[in-house]
Amino acid sequence: MKIAVVSIFPGMVGGIAEYGVVGRAIERQLVSLHCEDPRTFAADAHRTVDDRPYGGGPGMVMKYEPVAGAIRAARAGLPENSPVICLSPQGRVFDQAEAGRLARMPGMVLLAGRYEGIDERLIENEVDEELSLGDFVLSGGEIAAMAVIDAVVRLLPGVLGDAESAEQDSFMQGLLDHPHYTRPERVGGKRVPSVLLSGDHARIARWRYKQALGRSYLRRPDMVKKLRLSREQRQLLDEFLAERGLPQQNLRSGRNAGR
């Protein structure tokens, strides 16, 4: 996959190419990452990329022409049907399903804005979709673009090793992770749960799944409500809650439950 980012802070985005999973994917040429700076396409000697908003008000707006120039240059190195995606608080909220969809694209241009926003006409003419990371305020689109790149690149074929890939299509999908422990056996006044020392792999798998269900139910009830719990899953969740002296869940389950 070929990825191009349009940003006035190319150094910020380039940083992810040096670390971890994304860095390795670029090294192995499974993905290419390229940045275009609108400043390069500014018409004046001062390389101006922003101007005051029509209608007044605080802050500045990114100018049409320099951003358009950078998008055109970014597109030039990418396959024809690569979408232009603007990172924006006005976008659809990015999630794992969106990451999976983007991972099937041959390329993508990620447009990271600064200031109060980008001239709306540029978005209408050049942007295919807008994505947000959620309801909190960032100072610009770069960190959001980096988050999208990280989430998408991990899904590209060959990027993750066998162990990590296996985890992605495991039965834990749609739930939070179970807790993790490593040596020593006793630390911070606490012991490793004894089941993890038992060597009984079936019991360990059951315990982990119970933890994943229970934690998801307590911390992210929205996630659990989307699942249709089987009788076994309900049993595990009830065990988890009972062990903590919590009231048993009253999520309905089975075919067409709820709604």
For the annotated catalytic residues, the residue numbers are 89, 116, 154, 169
Stretch of residues binding ligand 9D3 (CB under 6 A), selected from 74-82, 140-148, 205-213, 241-249: 140-148
* Contacts of ligand 9D3 in 45-104 (CB under 6 A): 87-89
Q: Would you say 92 or 220 has its CB closer to ligand 9D3? A: 92
136 binds ligand 9D3 (CB under 6 A): yes
User: What is the spatial distance between Cα 218 and Cα 220, in angstroms, rounded to a whole number?
Assistant: 6
Rounded Cα gap, residues 146 and 222, in angstroms:
26
Selected from 141, 176, 208, 211, the binder of ligand 9D3 by CB under 6 A is 141
Q: Does 7 bind ligand 9D3 (CB under 6 A)?
A: no
Q: Which stretch binds ligand 9D3 (CB under 6 A): 121-129, 131-139, 171-179, 217-225?
A: 131-139
Q: What is the dihedral of CA 220, 225, 228, 230, to 10 degrees?
A: 60
Query: Cβ(137)–Cβ(84) under 8 Å?
Result: no
* Separation between Cα atoms, residue 98 and residue 233, nearest integer Å: 27
**Shortest separation between residue 140's beta carbon and ligand 9D3, angstroms:** 5
Is 133 a binding residue for ligand 9D3 by CB under 6 A? The answer is yes
Q: Which stretch binds ligand 9D3 (CB under 6 A): 128-136, 175-183, 193-201, 238-246?
A: 128-136
Q: Exactly one of 45, 137, 163, 202 binds ligand 9D3 (CB under 6 A); which one? A: 137
Phi first, then psi, for residue 130 (nearest 5°) are -120, 135
CB of 195 to ligand 9D3, least distance (A): 40
| 134 near ligand 9D3, rule: CB under 6 A | yes
Q: Which amino acid, residue 188?
A: G
E-assigned strand segments in the chain: 2-6, 32-36, 50-51, 61-62, 84-93, 107-112, 117-118, 129-132, 186-187, 190-191
Nearer to ligand 9D3, 4 or 212 (CB): 4
Give the number of other Cβ atoms within 10 Å of residue 41's Cβ. 20
If you ran DSSP here, which 8-state letter would residue 59 be given? S
What is the contact surface with ligand 9D3 in residues (CB under 6 A)?
87-89, 113, 116-117, 132-134, 136-138, 140-141, 144
